[in-house]
Amino acid sequence: MLEAIAWIGSAFIIAAVGLSIAGAVGVLRFPDVYTRIHAASITDTGAASLMTLGMLLMAGLSPAAIKLCIVWLFIMLTSPAAAHALAGAAFGSGHRPILGDPRRPSEDET
Amino acid sequence: MLAAGVAGLLIAMGLMVVRLLRGPTAYDRVLAVNSFGTKTVLMIALMGFAVGRPDFLDVAIVYALINFISTIALMKVFRLRSLGEPLARLSMSRETPDA
Amino acid sequence: MTLALALTPYVYGLGFFMMAAGLLIALTSRHLIKRLIGLGVFQTSAGVFYILLSKVSGGTAAIRLEADSPAARSLASRLDAAYIATHGVDGVVYSNPLPHVLILTAIVVGAATLAVGLSIIVRIRETYGTVDFEELAALEAKALRDGREDEA
Amino acid sequence: MSPFAGVQFASPEVIQHAPALMIAAPLTAACVAALSPSARWAWFSSLGGALFALWMALCLAADVAQSGVVSYAVGGFAPPLGIELRVDDLGVFFSLLVSILGVATSLASASLLRLELPERDHALMQAGFMLALTGLLGLTATGDAFNAFVFLEVSSIGTYALVAMGASRDRRALTAAFQYLIMGTIGATFFVIGVGLLYSVTGTLNMTDMAEKLSASSSDRAAIAGLVLITVGLALKAAMFPLHAWLPGAYSAGPSVVVAFLAGTATKVSVYLLIRFLMDVAGGLEGAGEGLLNWLIAPMAGIAAVVASVQAVFQTETRRILAFSSIAQIGYVLLGVTSGSVAGLTAALFLLFAHAMIKTVIFLCLGAIGHRGAQLETLAGAGREAPWTITALAIAMLGLAGAPFTAGFLAKWRLLGALADGGRIWAVVAIAVSSLTALVYCARILETMVFRTRRSSASGVSEASPAALAAIWFLAASSVWYGLDASALYDLARQAAASAMGASS
Amino acid sequence: MTRLLAAPEAELVFAALLLTLLAGLVLALLAARSVLTCILLMSVFSLTMALWLMVMDAPDVAFTEASVGAGVSTMILLGAALSSTDVIPSVRPGRFWFPAVACLAAFIGMALALSDLPVFGDPGSPPSSYVGRLYLEHTPHDIGAPNVVTAVLASYRGFDTLGETSVILAAGVGVLLLLGGSLNSRDPVSEDVSLRISAGSPVLSVAARLLIPIICLYAFYVLAHGEFGAGGGFQAGVILAAALILHALVFGVRETMRALPVGVVRSCAALGVLGYASIGFIAILHGGRFLDYDALLSPVFEAGLPSSHLAGGHHHWGQRLGILGIETGVMLAVASTMTAIFYAFAGRVSRSDEAGAA
C-alpha cells in the first residue's frame, strides 16, 4: 500500500516537472512580456500545487507535511501577487501587449 | 525517480537563465529571476525528499520569502527608479517609459 | 569510487576558475559596482572550496538523527554496513560540519564588505559625479596637477 | 631576562583571563561608544577600553615572562575542538606595541577629530577605532588560523570606512578607501584560501596542531600552495613592495587620527602573522618556510627599501612622503626578518617597534596642528606657530632619518650589523642607499617646518591640545629613551625573536 | 521508499552539475554590460549557490547564503545602482592583460595543488576524519544540541562568532558614518496617512500587510529552532531585516523610519554585540572561561532542572541558555545592522529625489 502511494506521488511530481519545463519553454518562445508572464506564473503555481500534492503523498503525516503546506500557501500568496505587480509595472511603463496577428514579428526580432 | 524530477527542474531553471540573458526588456529579466526563484523553492522541497531529509523545508520557505521581496524590489527599481518611495504615493499607472 | 575520482579535478577546477574569474572582474572592470560584484564572487568561491572539502559521499547534513528514526534507517539503507561502521557516527554517516561554520562567517564578512564598499561608491558618485574607474583616475591626476600649481 | 619578570600587575584571577579580556575590553568600549549620545562620552569609553587593554597586555607580558607561553581555551573547550588564544614572547611584543599606540592615539583622538570631522560623527568614529583595536589585538593573541582571518576582517572593515571619512578634508579619501577595500579584501580572501589549503592537508585549524600535522604529512604540494597564498595575502595587507599601491593614497587622505593608528599597527601586525605562519606553522615543511622567506620576500623587501625611499623624495605632499617612507621601513623590517639569524630578527623587531612609535608621533603631530593643506610648502614656518608640537615632530623626524641618540639609529645600526654578519651584503647596501635617501626627505621636511620663515597664505596652524600633546610627547620621549638605553626594549625583542626562531629551528 | 532516494553518487554528480551552472553564471557575469543585469545574475548566482549548498549537506549555509546573498545584498546593490550610471564601459586592452595574466598564474598555481587535495566526498580525508569527526562524536556529551553546526558555531567556536558579530557592527558603523549623515535629521514627513492605503497598489499592500507579521514570527521560530534544525541567529536576523525591508518597500522607507528610527536601530546593533560579550563576562564571573556556557548556571540550580532526554540525560541547560542567549544577541545585531544599511541606501536615494523634485 505504501509503495502504491509513493508511486502515485512520484507520478504527480513528474507531471509537475513536465508542466514546469513546458512553462519554461513557453517563456522562451512567447512574443512579448505579457504572454511570458502569463506562461511563467500559471505553470509555476500549477507545478507548485502538483508537486506539493505529490510530496504530501510521499511524506504522509509528518512535520514535513505541515511545512510543505506552509510552502505551498506561501507560493500561492506571493507568486500571483508578484506576477500582478510585474504586469502592472510593465503596462505602466509603456509596454503594450502585441494584439491581433500572432505571426507579426515579436519584440525579439524588431 | 526523484533524481529524474530534480534533473527536469534543473533544465527548466537553465531555460530561465537563457531568458534572463536574452530578455530584451527589463521586465523579462525580472520575470526570469522570479520564476527561477519559484523553481528553486520547488527544487529544494524535492531535493529534501531525494536525499532523505525532508525536514529542510525551512530553507524552502525562506527562498519563497526572499524571492517575493527581491521581485518587488526589482520591480520598484525598474519601474519607479527608487527603493524608498512608498508604492502608494507613486501610482503604478504613471506613464514613464523606460528600459 | 571511480566516479568521485573523475569528478575531483573537475569540481575543484571549477572552484578555482570562479576564484580566478572573480579576481579578474575585481581588478579589471571599469565600473566600480561591478568590481565589488567580482569581489563578492571571489569571496564566495573561497567558500565553495571549503564546502567541497566537507562533503562525505553518502553523508547527510550534520544534524544528528536518532539512530533508529525512519530517516536514519532509510539513509542507512542506501549504504553498506561496513561503510557506516567505519565512517558513520551512531549508525549515520554525516558530512564534516566544521567548514559549514567557517563559511557562515565568510558569507557574512562578504556582505559586510559589500555594504561598506557600496556606501563608498555612493559617496564617490556624489562627490566625483562618475563611477567609471578611468574617469576617476583622470579626474584625480588633473586635481593633483592643479593642486601643485595653485599651492606652489 | 625580560624586563617584566617578577612584576605583578593584577591579582592572579584577573591575569588568568588576561588574553580574553584584552580583546573583549575594546569590543565592549566600541559598543558603549556606538551607544553613547555625545562625543565626550564616546571618547571616555574609547580611552577606558584602550587603557584596560594596555593593562591586560602588561599582565600578559608578566605572565609570559614567568611561564613562557600562555594558552587560554576560549569557551572551556581544549584546542583541537575549541579556539585557543596562544600568547608567547612574540605575541606579547606585538600586543604591547598595539595597545600602547592604541592608548596614545585614543588620548589624542578627541582633539584631532574635532579639528577634522563634524561633531555628530565622533561617536561612531570612536566605535570604529575601537573595533580596529579589537581586531588587531585579537590577531596578536589568537592561536587559531581561521580566528586570525575573522580578526583580520574585524580590524580592516572598520578602517575602510574610517579612511573614507577623510573626505571631509580631501575628497581623494573616497577613491583611496575604495582601492584600500578592494586590495585589503583580496588579501584577506587569499589568506583564507591559503588557510583552507592547509586545512585540507592537516584537518585542523589550531596553528600548533597544524604545525605538527604538517611535519608528518606527505602531501606537500597543497601545503606549499597554501603557504604561498597566505604569504601573498599577508604581503597585500602589509603593503610589501609589489602590492603596496593602496597605501600612499589611504595614508595621505585618511583622517589623521586613523592614519596615525594604522601607520603604527596595521601593517606591523601583518608582518607578525607572516613571521608566525612562515616560521612556526611552516616549520614542519622542511625548507618551505625558509624558501618562501629567502626567495620571495627578501628580494621584494630589498627593492621596496630602495624604490620606496626614492619615490618618497619626489613627492610634494607631506603625508605621501611619509607613506612611501613607511613602505621602505616595512622593507627594512622584512630584510631583517629574512636574515635567518636571531640577531637579525631581533634588530628587525626593535626597528619595527621604534618605527611604529615614530610614525604615529609624526601623524599625530600633523593632525594636532590642524594642517589642512596637503602640500609640504603650506607647513612652512609652522615651528613658530606650534613650538611644542613641532619640536616633538622634529625629534620623531630625526628618529625616522636614523640620526644618532634616537631609537631609529640604534635599530638600523644593529640591523646592518646582523645582516653583515649573516653575509647579506646586498641587503646592507640596499638599507644604506635607502637610509641616505631618507636623510634627504627628512631634512626637507625639517627644514620647511623649523627653519623656513612664515608664509602669509599658510593655512591656520595651531598648538595641539593638552591631551594630544601628552600622547605625542610620551611617544617622542620614549623613542629617544630607547635610543639612549635600549636594554628594556632590546631584551623584549630578543625574547620574541628567540621564541619565533626557536620554534622553527 | 528507499528506491526513491538518490544514490550517493547521484548526489555528487548533481553537485557537479550545479557547480557547472554556477560557473556558467560567472562567465555570463564576466561578459555582462549593464549593472542591473549583473545584479540579477548575482541574485541568481546566490540562489543557485544556496541550492548547491543544500546538495552538499549544508542547510545552515544554504539558509544564510539565500537570505544574505539573494536577499540583502541584492537590495543594497540595487540601492547603489540606482544612484549611478547603468552602462559598464568596456575595458581597454592595455589595462586588461596584466591583471588577466596575474589571475591566470594564480589559477594555474592553485590547479597545481589539485593532485594533493582529498578526493571529492572521501570520508577518510584529513578534514573529515579528524576535527570534523571529533565534533560529531563530542557534541551530544558536551552540548546536547542535535544541530552540530549550531553547537560548533555558538559554543565550541563561539569566539569566532563574536568576532563575526563585531564585523557586522563594524559594517553598520561604517555605512552609518558614510551615508548616515542625512538620515539622522528629523525631517517633517510630508505625505499624509491616507496616501498609504490609496488605490495605488492594493494587491501588494494587502499581501505585504498579511505577510510581515508572519515573517517576523517565522524569524523567531528560526532563532529558537536553531539547535534542532537548520537555522540560528544570523538567519533569524536576516529574515527579520527582510520583513522590515518588505515594509519599507511597500509603505515607503519614511514610514518604517517612523516606526524604527535610525537612532534606535543603531543602538540595537551595539546592544546585540554587547549582550553577546556580556554573556562571556558572566561566564568569567561564575568562574568559567570566557564564553564558557557551562559556568552560566550554578551547579545547584542546574541539578534541579529536568535532564534533557535528547542528550542522553546529561545536564546541558547552561549550554542551551548560553547558545540561545548569544543567538538572540546575534539576531539583534544582524537585524538592526541590515535595517540600518537599507535605511542608508533607500532613505538617501529618496532624499536626493526630493531634493531634485523640490
β-sheet bridge partners, residue D206: D144
Q: Neighbouring chains of A at 3+ CB pairs within 8 Å?
A: B, E
B92 within some domain: no
Distance from CA of A101 to the nearest CA of E (A): 32
E240 close to B (CB below 8 A): no
Residues 46-75 of B with CB under 8 A from E: 47-53, 55-56, 58-59, 61-63, 65-70, 72-74
Q: Scanning the structure block, which residue is given the C-alpha cell 552602462?
A: E87
Which one, of D124, C115, C109, D254, lies nearest residue E177 by Cα? D124
Number of H helices, E strands in chain B: 3, 0
pLDDT given at position D281: 82
- C-alpha distance from residue E97 to each of D179, E29, E104, E109, E130 (Å): 19, 18, 10, 18, 43
pLDDT given at position E202: 76
B88 within some domain: no
Distance from CA of A96 to the nearest CA of B (A): 11
Question: Is a pLDDT exceeding 60 seen at residue D257?
Answer: yes
Close Cβ partners of D84 (under 8 Å, ≥ 6 residues apart): D71, D72, D73, D74, D143, D144, D206
For residue range D465-498, list pLDDT tens digits in order: 888 888 888 888 888 888 787 788 888 888 888 8
pLDDT given at position B34: 92
| Per-residue 3-state assignment (H helix, E strand, C coil) for chain E | CHHHCCCHHHHHHHHHHHHHHHHHHHHHHHHCCEHHHHHHHHHHHHHHHHHHHHHCCCHHHHHHHHHHHHHHHHHHHHHHHHCCCCECCCCCHHHHHHHHHHHHHHHHHHHHHHHHCCCCCCCCCHHHHCHHHHHHHHHHHHCCCCEHHHHHHHHHCHHHHHHHHHHHHHHHHHHHHHHCHHHHCCCCCCCCHHHHHCCCCHHHHHHHHHHHHHHHHHHHHHHHHHHCCCCCHHHHHHHHHHHHHHHHHHHCHHHHHHHCCHHHHHHHHHHHHHHHHHHHHHHHHCCCCCCCHHHCCCHHHHHHCCCCHHHCCCCCHHHHHHHHHHHHHHHHHHHHHHHHHHHHHHHHHHHHHHHHHC
Distance from CA of E71 to the nearest CA of C (A): 11
* Residue D134: all three cell numbers together: 579589537
Cα separation, E281 vs E159, in Å, equals 13
pLDDT given at position E197: 42
Given A10, A51, A67, which is nearest B1 (Cβ)? A10
Share of chain D above pLDDT 90, in %: 34
CB C106 within 8 A of CB D192: yes
Cα separation, D210 vs D199, in Å, equals 8
- C-alpha distance from residue D255 to each of D116, D123, D169, E55 (Å): 7, 15, 8, 47
Domains in chain B, number = 1
Question: Is a pLDDT exceeding 80 seen at residue B80?
Answer: no
Q: Give D171 or E94, the one with higher predicted confidence.
A: D171
* Residue A58: all three cell numbers together: 510521499
For D71, phi then psi, to 5°, come to -120, 130
**Average pLDDT over chain B, rounded to an integer:** 82
**Got the DSSP string for C41-66?**
HHHHHHHHHHHHHH--TT-B-SBPPP
pLDDT band at E174 (very low <50, low <70, confident <90, very high): very high
Share of chain E above pLDDT 90, in %: 35
pLDDT given at position B26: 85
Task: Please state the domain extents for chain E.
Answer: 1-88, 140-185+202-358
- Is the CB of C60 less than 8 angstroms away from the CB of B51? yes
Which of these ranges, D177-181, E8-12, E328-332, has the smallest mean pLDDT?
E8-12
Contacts of A81 in chain E (CB under 8 A): 203-204, 207
pLDDT given at position D262: 92
CB C56 within 8 A of CB E61: no
pLDDT given at position D102: 94
**Region D364-383 average pLDDT:** 77
Given E269, E270, E280, which is nearest D24 (Cβ)? E280
Q: What is the radius of gyration, based on Cα positions, of chain E? A: 24
Torsion over CA of C12, C13, C14 and C15, rounded to 10 degrees? 50
For residue range C32-66, list pLDDT tens digits in order: 999 999 999 999 999 999 999 988 888 888 888 88
Question: Is a pLDDT exceeding 60 seen at residue E319?
Answer: yes
> Please, how many CA atoms are within 13 Å of residue B78, restricted to the half-sphere of its CB?
29
Mutation test of the interface with chain E: which of D13, D124, D151, choosing the one with the most E Cβ atoms within 10 A? D124
Which one, of A9, C54, E139, C100, lies nearest residue B54 by Cα? A9
Which of these ranges, A8-12, D99-103, D214-218, D380-384, has the smallest mean pLDDT?
D380-384
**Region A85-109 average pLDDT:** 73
Mutation test of the interface with chain E: which of C101, C114, C121, choosing the one with the most E Cβ atoms within 10 A? C101
B33 within some domain: yes
Which of these ranges, C84-88, D303-307, D342-346, has the smallest mean pLDDT?
C84-88
**Region E145-150 average pLDDT:** 88
D470 close to C (CB below 8 A): no
Distance from CA of B40 to the nearest CA of A (A): 11
Cα separation, D41 vs B49, in Å, equals 56
The chain B residue lying nearest C58, using CA atoms, is B51
Q: Which secondary structure element, helix H or strand E, spans residue D72, and what is its range?
A: strand D70-73
B95 within some domain: no
Distance from CA of C73 to the nearest CA of B (A): 10
Cα separation, D453 vs D214, in Å, equals 63
Q: Neighbouring chains of C at 3+ CB pairs within 8 Å?
A: B, D, E
Specify the amino acid at residue D109: S
pLDDT band at D456 (very low <50, low <70, confident <90, very high): low
The range of the structural domain enclosing residue B61 comes to 2-80
- C88-118 burial, b at 16+ Cβ within 10 Å, e below that, comes to bbebbbbbbbbbbbbbbbbbbbbbbbbbbbb
Cα separation, E59 vs C60, in Å, equals 10
- Is the CB of E174 less than 8 angstroms away from the CB of D200? no
CB B65 within 8 A of CB E215: yes
Close Cβ partners of D502 (under 8 Å, ≥ 6 residues apart): none
Domains and CATH numbers, chain C: 2-55+97-151 (1.10.287.3510), 64-95 (no CATH)
Q: Scanning the structure block, which residue is given the C-alpha cell 548569544?
A: E326
Q: Neighbouring chains of E at 3+ CB pairs within 8 Å?
A: A, B, C, D
Count CB atoms within 10 A of the CB of residue E273.
27
- Is the CB of D219 less than 8 angstroms away from the CB of E116? yes
**Average pLDDT over chain D, rounded to an integer:** 87
pLDDT given at position E308: 55
Contacts of D150 in chain C (CB under 8 A): 105, 109
pLDDT given at position C75: 78
pLDDT given at position C129: 85
Which of these ranges, A6-20, C73-87, E207-221, has the smallest mean pLDDT?
C73-87
pLDDT given at position E353: 41
pLDDT given at position B98: 46
Q: Is chain D touching chain A, with at least 3 CB–CB pairs below 8 Å?
A: no
- Is the CB of E167 less than 8 angstroms away from the CB of D157? yes
Collapsed DSSP state (helix, strand, coil) of residue D217: coil
For residue range D36-55, list pLDDT tens digits in order: 888 899 999 999 999 999 99
Q: Which secondary structure element, helix H or strand E, spans residue D19, and what is its range?
A: helix D18-35
β-sheet bridge partners, residue C63: E147
Question: Is a pLDDT exceeding 70 seen at residue D1?
Answer: no
pLDDT given at position A3: 78
In this prediction the ipTM stands at 0.92
**Displacement of CA D231 from its chain's centroid (Å):** 17
For residue range D309-352, list pLDDT tens digits in order: 888 888 888 888 999 999 999 998 998 888 888 888 899 999 99
Cα separation, D364 vs D371, in Å, equals 11
Cα separation, D412 vs D399, in Å, equals 10
Cα separation, E293 vs D76, in Å, equals 8
Count CB atoms within 10 A of the CB of residue B38.
28
Q: Neighbouring chains of B at 3+ CB pairs within 8 Å?
A: A, C, E
Cα separation, D445 vs D440, in Å, equals 9
The chain D residue lying nearest C131, using CA atoms, is D175
Cα separation, B36 vs B64, in Å, equals 11
Task: Please state the domain extents for chain A.
Answer: 2-92
pLDDT given at position C37: 95
Burial of E293 (0-12, 13-18, 19+ CB in 10 A): buried
Given D21, D24, D127, which is nearest E173 (Cβ)? D127
Distance from CA of E3 to the nearest CA of A (A): 10
Q: Give D175 or D13, the one with higher predicted confidence.
A: D175
Given B9, B27, B64, which is nearest A89 (Cβ)? B27
**Average pLDDT over chain A, rounded to an integer:** 85
- Is the CB of D75 less than 8 angstroms away from the CB of E155? yes
pLDDT given at position E192: 43
CB C76 within 8 A of CB C89: no
Greatest mean pLDDT among D119-128, E92-101, E119-128: D119-128
Close Cβ partners of E82 (under 8 Å, ≥ 6 residues apart): B77, B81, B82, B83, E349
Residues 240-269 of E with CB under 8 A from D: 266-267, 269
Q: pTM of the full predicted structure? A: 0.93
CB D198 within 8 A of CB D214: yes
For residue range D84-117, list pLDDT tens digits in order: 999 988 999 999 999 999 999 999 998 888 888 8
**Average pLDDT over chain E, rounded to an integer:** 83
